[in-house]
Amino acid sequence: MDMPHALAAFDALGQPSRLTVFRLLVQTGSAGLAAGDIAARLDMKPNTLSTHLGILESAGLIAAQRQGRSIRYHAQMEGLRGLMAWMLQDCCGGNPAACAPLLDLITNKGLKMDPKPYHVLFLCTGNSARSILAEAVLNHEGKGRFIAHSAGSRPSGQPHPLAISLLQHEGIDTGFARSKSWDEFATPDAPKMDFVFTVCDNAAAEECPYWPGQPMTAHWGLPDPAAATGTDAQKALAFAETYAAMMRRIQAFCALPLATIDALSLKSHLKTIGEDIQ
């Protein structure tokens, strides 16, 4: 960060509407928001919002990413950290140790590490397709930070063959996969869940068992690929689309700073992931 970049950032944030837009994108994290969603949340005219987004992007404070036909915007946290670190690099009259805790936080050195893996349970009705894919993807992407499980309210008895073949094609081990009742996770000796996500509308509408520990919950509903009709290729495509959507949601989830985010903000992030990332 240098003086010209710092001045551009301050100029971008010095206008109330732009500051509001930027704070909203900071709240949504890596999931970001489409321009239409930002305009709706802030009751802002699209052409006015477009101008503000352009200025923030030019200042290096936000970035745009195309997803299908829409463009999503998210805060560039590295740019914000760089600005704050530049402001404080010569702080405290030559005694930088006085500012060390704040500098460490800004540069990520002092962020609290996750103390243990988070247990996450994915629920659907049959526990044969969506929840199986979600369990596999999170265990693969979570890299030890998460231990994923899946279950169903009325388990089908076995994972769907197309779900298994897709995971194998993606190089993900399927030895874990079995269809099981959510009652397994409501017993006293079951793992304590930190998060419980429903991935089908039917499961979300049913009365779930009591989960010890009061885990954070959210609905991440997706169409059931097992219900797809047509040729074998069309059915396989339905599973591939579900896998891709779940991958995007889980990557956004894995990017959340779970060790430092407050419960209310986390709940909002989880809701946004389920509603806005398809």
Q: Per the residue annotation, which of 91, 99, 208, 254 is the catalytic one?
A: 208
Contact 203, 124 (CB under 8 A): yes
Q: What percent of the chain has pLDDT over 90?
A: 40
Domain 3-106, second-level architecture = Orthogonal Bundle (1.10)
More confident residue, 51 or 189: 51
200 is catalytic: yes
* Residue 40 in this model has a pLDDT that exceeds 80: yes
* Residue 131 in this model has a pLDDT that exceeds 90: yes
pTM reported for the whole predicted model: 0.60
The pLDDT tens digits for 101-128 are 555 555 554 444 456 889 999 999 999 9
Domain map of the chain by residue range? 3-106, 118-276
The pLDDT tens digits for 63-90 are 888 766 678 888 887 777 777 777 766 6
Does this chain's domain 3-106 share its CATH topology with 118-276? no
DSSP string of the chain, one letter each residue? --HHHHHHHHHHHTSHHHHHHHHHHHHHGGG-EEHHHHHHHHT--HHHHHHHHHHHHHTTSEEEEEETTEEEEEE-HHHHHHHHHHHHTT-GGG-GGGGHHHHHHHTTTTPPPPSSPEEEEEEESSSSSHHHHHHHHHHHHSTTSEEEEEEESS--SS--HHHHHHHHHTT---TT----BGGGGSSTTSPPPSEEEE-SHHHHHS-PPPPTT--EEEE-----GGG--SSHHHHHHHHHHHHHHHHHHHHHHHTS-TTTS-HHHHHHHHHHHHHH--
**Which CATH number is 118-276's, of 3.40.50.300, 3.40.50.2300, 1.20.1560.10, 3.30.420.40?**
3.40.50.2300
Q: Per the residue annotation, which of 91, 92, 99, 124 is the catalytic one?
A: 124
pLDDT of residue 111: 44
Q: How confident is the model at residue 257 (pLDDT cuts 50, 70, 90)?
A: confident
pLDDT of residue 72: 85
The predicted model gives 229-255 an average pLDDT of 93
Q: Per the residue annotation, which of 91, 92, 99, 200 is the catalytic one?
A: 200
208 is catalytic: yes
